[in-house]
């Protein structure tokens, strides 16, 4: 039944090339639209913005369920591919947005600071090389692009509406969330290894990361060195983005 329903949306396509018109349309139109929407909504009451972020989490969750079912039934012939387990760095806003209405205000701000510091930059950088988003099916390809456009909207809405903890303490609190994510990602990578090639957060200890530059570091100095430099680079990028917010805030 599920397979038959999913087949109705299995519209095949030739995976778009990087810097193709498909890629450029999403980058040059989607990102500005996300920024415009975030700017227009920045002055809405905080309760409205929290409900909006929760709604984003609901949308992400439903779209992820669709993706997982599609991959299992259509693309992988009822075989689960651990590579697509939904716990990458860019997956975390789905979980955090769903948690926002149910945690104290302090943790709402920490989660929002994390999504600004860590997910906004990551979502923007994906558009430099979105090859991992390209699939032979329209729905999966659109899912990846829309997902990251929405992450940009979430990060900018948080920034424009001053929902970021602007202090150094706020940065390290958001980094603690990142560290917990790295630990969980490593547990998933290790425990699922007998069943597949999970690479959550791209820090699996079993083979070199596929990320540009860091794969070369891993090839020359070892997997642990490549993963360590990769994680530290993410933290550095998040810190620089946090400094931008500190400079720009009134």
**Segment 44-65 mean pLDDT:** 98
Number of domains in the chain: 1
pLDDT bucket at 239, cuts 50 / 70 / 90: very high
Q: Could you tell me which residue, 209 or 186, shows the higher pLDDT? A: 186
Q: What is the pLDDT of residue 168?
A: 94
Q: Answer whether residue 65 is part of any domain.
A: yes
Within a 10 A sphere around the Cβ of 166, how many other Cβ atoms? 16
Mean of pLDDT over the chain: 95
- Give the list of residues 6+ apart from residue 118 with CB closer than 8 angstroms, or none: 89, 92, 174, 177, 178, 234, 238
In contact, 81 and 196? CB cutoff 8 Å:
yes
Q: Answer whether residue 209 is part of any domain.
A: yes
Q: What is the pLDDT of residue 72?
A: 97
Q: pLDDT tens for residues 7-42?
A: 999 999 999 999 999 999 999 999 999 999 999 999
pLDDT bucket at 250, cuts 50 / 70 / 90: low
Measured distance CA(214)–CA(216) in Å, rounded:
5
Closest CA to 120 of 78, 92, 83, 142: 92
User: According to DSSP H, which parts of 92-222 are helical?
Assistant: 92-99, 105-114, 121-126, 138-160, 168-191, 214-221
pTM over 0.85: yes
Q: Answer whether residue 16 is part of any domain.
A: no
- Print the domain residue range for 205: 30-248
> Does pLDDT of 249 surpass 60?
no
Q: Answer whether residue 25 is part of any domain.
A: no
Q: pLDDT tens for residues 86-102?
A: 999 999 999 999 999 99
Q: pLDDT tens for residues 152-197?
A: 999 999 999 999 999 999 999 999 999 999 999 999 999 999 999 9
pLDDT bucket at 248, cuts 50 / 70 / 90: low
Q: Answer whether residue 21 is part of any domain.
A: no
Q: Answer whether residue 2 is part of any domain.
A: no
In the structure encoding, which two tokens stand for residue 115, read together?
């999504």
Please state, in angstroms and as integers, the Cα–Cα distance from residue 154 to each residue in 30, 74, 86, 146, 234, following that order.
Answer: 13, 30, 18, 12, 19
> Does pLDDT of 47 surpass 70?
yes
Task: Lowest mean pLDDT of 68-82, 144-158, 217-231, 234-248, name the range.
Answer: 234-248
pLDDT bucket at 212, cuts 50 / 70 / 90: confident
Q: Answer whether residue 8 is part of any domain.
A: no
Q: What is the pLDDT of residue 247?
A: 60
Q: Answer whether residue 5 is part of any domain.
A: no
pLDDT bucket at 246, cuts 50 / 70 / 90: confident
């Amino acid at each position: 039944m599920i397979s038959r329903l999913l087949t109705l949306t299995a519209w095949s396509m030739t995976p778009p090339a990087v810097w193709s018109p498909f890629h450029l349309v999403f980058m040059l139109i989607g990102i500005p639209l996300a920024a415009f929407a975030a700017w227009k909504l920045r002055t809405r009451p905080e309760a409205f913005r929290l409900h909006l972020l929760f709604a984003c989490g609901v949308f992400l969750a439903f779209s992820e369920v669709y993706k997982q079912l599609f991959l299992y039934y259509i693309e992988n012939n009822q075989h689960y591919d651990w590579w697509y387990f939904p716990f990458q760095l860019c997956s975390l806003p789905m979980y955090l947005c769903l948690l926002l209405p149910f945690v104290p205000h302090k943790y709402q701000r920490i989660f929002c600071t994390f999504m600004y510091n860590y997910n906004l930059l990551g979502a923007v950088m994906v558009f430099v090389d979105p090859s991992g988003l390209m699939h032979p099916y329209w729905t999966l390809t659109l899912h990846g692009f829309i997902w990251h456009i929405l992450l940009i909207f979430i990060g900018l809405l948080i920034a424009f509406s001053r929902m970021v903890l602007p202090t150094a303490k706020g940065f390290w609190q958001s980094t603690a969330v990142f560290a917990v994510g790295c630990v969980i990602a490593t547990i998933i990578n290790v425990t699922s290894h007998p069943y597949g090639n999970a690479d959550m957060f791209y820090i699996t200890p079993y083979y070199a990361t596929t990320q540009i530059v860091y794969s070369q570091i891993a090839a020359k100095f070892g997997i642990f060195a490549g993963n360590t430099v990769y994680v530290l680079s993410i933290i550095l990028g998040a810190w620089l983005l946090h400094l931008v917010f500190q400079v720009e805030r009134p």
